[in-house]
Homo-oligomer: A and B are copies of this chain.
């Protein structure tokens, strides 16, 4: 069966790393049909729309979407795209790679970030000149859906041993309280072990010893900040992939941005996008191919060639060719 893959390079280095990842996918024995679409600052400048309807529609109907990065318009692009695929969970692995400089090289974490609500689905009002409000929403149903996914991901059939629920229910008693209680209950019903941690305490503890955590399930904004914190521990956003999973489709994107300082120079590190493409393969159940891509990227990170961000002098094309050669 042919899988329809939407490809949205976006702005800046998105234009370089996304084609690199597509090249890797094309080198595999998989039945993919690629369709490219525009989004981001450049198309907004040209047409007034950061996310043209055709692009939204494409992501909403393709089996999977590979997205690069967007500039100033990032929020206007990525949040609707996550909605287009109906994504209820954002999977954010943060793993240190051998040979890559990291303040905590023992880090190997996966964040399962709630991907639909909290302040992201919030309604904001400027009530008076002095007062603005934001109403954040937490539902039992979204918490349940995330928890069921987490139970599959980290339950007895997996390589993981349950998960940690990160929240701030000591202050947000109703909303984060509902989140925590619902997730814990679904886990208990499924025989999955959980423990819990306050997000502020997590921030301290993960720096002191990241090995005390494994899979972390958390509300939307907490997942945004805490996964970026973990990125700092493994040496930066440069190598971090992510997967936005919906009931019928997925959206895969590197966690990094458009890197305007190096965009256009052909030296962007394609690793995070290629690893995101490996997550896309996993999602479409090409498990062997996914494993091959993961291994090829790891070898390339360890032995080179390397782009300048990792202290090398190689180009995006060099690194991509090296990954393909190792497949």
Q: Which residues on A are within 8 Å of B, measured CB to CB?
A: 74-75, 79, 103-104, 119-120, 122, 124-126, 129-141, 168, 170-175, 177-178, 199-201, 203-208, 221-222, 224-226, 228-229, 231-233, 235-237
In the complex, the answer to whether A171 meets B140 with C-beta atoms within 8 Å is no
Which one of B131, B138, B178, B207 contacts A137 once the chains associate, using CB atoms below 8 Å?
Answer: B131
The verdict on A207 contacting B232 (CB below 8 Å), with A170-B74, A175-B124, A178-B132 known, is yes
Contact of A135 with B134 in the complex, beta carbons under 8 Å? yes
- A173, A178, A206, A208 — which one has the most chain B CB atoms within 10 A of its CB? A208
Instruction: Please indicate which of the listed interface residues A104, A221, A226 has the most CB atoms of chain B within 10 Å of its own CB.
Output: A221
A79 CB contacts on chain B under 8 angstroms: 171
Q: Which of B104, B174, B221 contacts A126 (CB 8 A)?
A: B174
Identify A174's interface contact among B132, B138, B168, B200, CB under 8 A.
Answer: B132
Who on chain B is nearest to A73 by CB? B170
* CB–CB A119/B200 < 8 A: no
Closest to A232 in B: B207
User: Is there an interface contact between B236 and A224, defined as CB atoms closer than 8 Å?
Assistant: no
What copy number does this chain have within its complex?
A: 2
In the complex, A139→B135 CA distance in Å?
Answer: 15
| Complex contacts, A229 vs chain B, CB 8 Å | 203-204, 207, 229
Residue contact A168 to B221, C-beta cutoff 8 Å: yes
Do residues B178 and A126 form an inter-chain contact, with CB atoms below 8 A?
yes
A130-B140, A139-B130 known; A203-B232 Cβ under 8 A: yes
- Known contacts A103-B104, A170-B74, A229-B229; is A134 also within 8 Å of B204 by CB? no
Query: Do A236 and B204 touch (CB < 8 A)?
Result: yes
| Known pairs A203-B228, A225-B200; A171 contacts B75 (CB<8 A) | yes
Partner of A172, one of B119, B138, B175, B203: B119
Closest B-chain residue to A138, C-beta based? B132
Please state if A135 and B132 are interface contacts (CB–CB under 8 Å).
no
Shortest distance in angstroms between A145's beta carbon and chain B's nearest beta carbon? 12
Give 13 pairs: A residue, B residue, CB < 8 Å, sorted on A: A119-B136, A119-B171, A124-B175, A131-B140, A132-B138, A132-B175, A132-B177, A133-B174, A203-B203, A203-B232, A206-B232, A207-B229, A208-B236
A134–B74 Cα gap in the complex (Å)?
Answer: 26
CA distance A225 to B153 in the complex (A): 27
- Chain B residues with Cβ below 8 Å from A199 are 225
Known: A172-B124, A237-B204. A130 touches B119 (CB 8 A): no
Contact yes or no, B233 A207, CB < 8 A? yes
In this complex, the member of A131, A134, A171 whose beta carbon has the largest number of chain B beta carbons within 10 angstroms is A134
Chain B residues, CB < 8 A from A133: 135-138, 174-175
Distance between Cα atoms of A124 and B174 in the complex (Å): 6
B170-A134 in contact (CB<8A): no
Tell me whether A207 and B138 are in contact in the complex, defined as CB-CB below 8 angstroms, given that A124-B174, A170-B74 are known contacts: no
| Nearest chain B CB to A142 CB, angstrom units | 9
Known pairs A131-B139, A203-B225 / 17 extra A-B pairs, C-beta < 8 Å: A75-B171, A103-B207, A132-B139, A133-B136, A133-B137, A133-B138, A135-B136, A168-B224, A171-B221, A203-B226, A204-B228, A204-B231, A204-B237, A205-B232, A207-B207, A207-B233, A222-B225
